[in-house]
């Protein structure tokens, strides 16, 4: 599956930012607007609710070709029928997670430094999330911002497709276009948007303009 | 494995209460003192640390016959080589977890009411944790205390072995002896004890006195 993945516009869900509209409605609209990958990130609450959410997002994306990944929770991803898992540096080791996921599911890892790229296991990852590009209120425990030059340095240090994350908005996309990344991750620009479909379309249009 | 499990003295670890001594040293001492089951509960921190802790506890219990269970995290249990998983009501559904664990690992579920026993899936659980017996500072989101009579009512409502949990100390064991439970769970009486081996021995002696 990994060779066919289109990483151009990667949505990470934030349940709180989706508000009363809910995550599933937001995802459906975002995919209609051009999101190419969805990662379900739900840090609060129990795994039972998390599983129900993942299943609902998987259903919402069925037939669209958009893969649904789960943040951290490999058990939830397996039971929920998700297409893969995204790991942070403090999550389970990627090579071990691969043994649970099998060869066909997607596996991504967040990295903030060239050293973390060097420490990543080879042959088990499908992509890297590089960031944060900018400081962001979404993730308060994040490393120092990379800026576009930092993103380019990380992308140059790996053969894996990279998606950039952290403070990416419509007006901060352009400097990322020549960094060698495969796509951009957004959270608030879609989840908190009054019209997530329009927001996704605007982001895709801006990113595709290259 | 389930038919051979000795549930008499079931330790749930609390990393903070184990303090500088650490969880592994505490577990080793507790097992030497008579603990018969260990559940690793580590709510804080990332899964990478949780996995390392589970592996260390599994190593510490190797050859003792004492099974090591993991709270909630099925992926951590599988990778860590644990003997099973303990689930709460907001965790993944037990019947689905059983599909990940396979038939041989232990699976337990916390219940606080007869209705929760009725709602539990049949044929997939090895034991129930019933509680809280008393109010406890360890678990601030717990249901109303059952008391010994409530414990007996829950134990009578299931054929599964039950372990009672919640505010059980040396001086509150006796009223539980005729409730039909298979054993008692303790957290602070062992984890926070100056001498966890002596604490476990005293608890086992008191429980076995029947």
pLDDT of residue A45: 85
* CA B132/CA B139 separation, integer angstroms: 9
CATH code, A121: 3.20.20.70
Which residues of chain B fall below pLDDT 50? 1-2
Q: How many domains does chain B have?
A: 1
Interface probe, candidates A50, A87, A88, A92, chain B, greatest B C-beta count within 10 A: A92
* CA B149/CA A54 separation, integer angstroms: 40
Ligand-binding annotation for B39, yes or no, is yes
Write the secondary structure of chain B as one string of H (helix), E (strand) and C (coil).
CHHHCCCCEEEECCHHHHHHHCHHHHHHHHHHHCCCEEEECCCCCCHHHHHHHHHHHHHHHCCCCCCEEEECCHHHHHHHCCCEEEECCCCCCHHHHHHHHCCCCEEEEEECCHHHHHHCCCCCCCEEEECCCCCCCCCCCCCCCCHHHHHHHHHHCCCCCEEECCCCCHHHCHHHCCCCCCEEEECHHHHCCCCHHHHHHHHHHHHHCC
The C-alpha angle with vertex A5 and arms to A208 and A56, in degrees rounded to 5, equals: 100
- The answer to whether the Cβ–Cβ distance between B75 and A100 falls below 8 Å is yes
A35: region left, alpha or beta (phi > 0 left; psi from -120 to 50 alpha) = beta
What DSSP designation does A3 have? G
Q: Cβ contacts (< 8 Å) between B89 and chain A: which residues? A: 48
3-state DSSP call for residue A177? Answer: coil
* CA B91/CA A114 separation, integer angstroms: 36
Compare CB distances from B100 to A49, A75, A90 and report the shortest one's residue: A75
* CA B191/CA A21 separation, integer angstroms: 45
Q: Cβ contacts (< 8 Å) between A70 and chain B: which residues? A: none
Tokens matching residue B199: 């604490």
- The answer to whether the Cβ–Cβ distance between A48 and B72 falls below 8 Å is no
Asked whether B107 and B97 are in contact (CB, 8 A), the reply is yes
Interface probe, candidates A44, A47, A73, chain B, greatest B C-beta count within 10 A: A47
pLDDT of residue A1: 42
Q: B60 to chain A nearest CA, in Å?
A: 21
pLDDT of residue B210: 65
pLDDT of residue A87: 98
Question: What is the domain extent for residue A126?
Answer: 2-208
pLDDT of residue B135: 86
- Exposure class string for B66-91: b at 16+ Cβ within 10 A, else e: bbbbbbbbbbbbbbbebbbbbbbeeb
Across chain A, which has 210 residues, the per-10-residue mean pLDDT values are: 81 97 98 98 92 98 98 98 98 98 97 97 97 82 88 98 96 94 97 98 93
Task: Please indicate whether residue B28 is annotated as part of the active site.
Answer: no
Residue A79 is inside which H or E element, if any?
helix A74-80
- The answer to whether the Cβ–Cβ distance between B93 and A46 falls below 8 Å is no
* CA B208/CA B210 separation, integer angstroms: 5
Q: Cβ contacts (< 8 Å) between A139 and chain B: which residues? A: none
Active-site choice (B8, B28, B41, B105): B41
Ligand-binding annotation for A89, yes or no, is no
Q: Is A203 on the interface with B (CB under 8 A)?
A: no
Q: Cβ contacts (< 8 Å) between A46 and chain B: which residues? A: 88, 90-91
Q: Is B47 on the interface with A (CB under 8 A)?
A: yes
pLDDT of residue B44: 84
Ligand-binding annotation for B178, yes or no, is no
Give me Rg for the CA atoms of chain B. Answer: 16
pLDDT of residue A36: 98
pLDDT of residue B136: 75
Tokens matching residue A193: 């948007």
pLDDT of residue A136: 75
- Sign of the dihedral through C-alpha B120, B121, B123, B126: negative
* CA A60/CA A55 separation, integer angstroms: 9
Compare CB distances from B92 to A51, A93, A99 and report the shortest one's residue: A51
Q: Is A99 on the interface with B (CB under 8 A)?
A: yes
Just list the catalytic residues of A: 41, 110, 139
Ligand-binding annotation for A72, yes or no, is yes
Q: Is B92 on the interface with A (CB under 8 A)?
A: yes
Q: Cβ contacts (< 8 Å) between B93 and chain A: which residues? A: 48, 51
pLDDT of residue B2: 47
Tokens matching residue B94: 């037990």
* CA B203/CA B123 separation, integer angstroms: 31
Q: Cβ contacts (< 8 Å) between A51 and chain B: which residues? A: 92-93, 96
């Amino acid at each position: 599956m990994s060779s066919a993945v289109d990483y151009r516009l990667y949505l990470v869900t934030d349940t709180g930012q989706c508000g009363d509209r809910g995550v599933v409605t937001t995802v459906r609209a975002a995919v209609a607007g051009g999101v190419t990958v969805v990662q379900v990130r739900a840090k609060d609450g129990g795994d039972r609710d998390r599983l129900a959410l993942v299943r609902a997002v998987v259903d919402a994306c069925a037939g669209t070709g958009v893969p649904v990944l789960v943040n951290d929770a490999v058990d939830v991803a397996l039971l929920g029928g998700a297409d893969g898992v995204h790991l942070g540096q403090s999550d389970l080791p990627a090579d071990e997670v691969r043994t649970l996921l099998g060869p066909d599911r997607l596996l991504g890892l967040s990295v903030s430094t060239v050293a973390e790229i060097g420490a990543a296991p080879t042959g088990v990852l499908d992509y890297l999330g590089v960031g944060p590009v900018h400081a962001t209120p979404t993730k308060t425990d994040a490393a120092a911002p990379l800026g576009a030059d930092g993103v380019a340095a990380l992308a140059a240090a790996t053969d894996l497709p990279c998606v950039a994350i952290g403070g990416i908005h419509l007006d901060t996309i352009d400097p990322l276009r020549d960094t060698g990344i495969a796509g951009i991750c957004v959270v608030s620009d879609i989840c908190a948007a009054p019209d997530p479909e329009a927001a996704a379309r605007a982001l895709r249009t801006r990113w595709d303009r290259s």
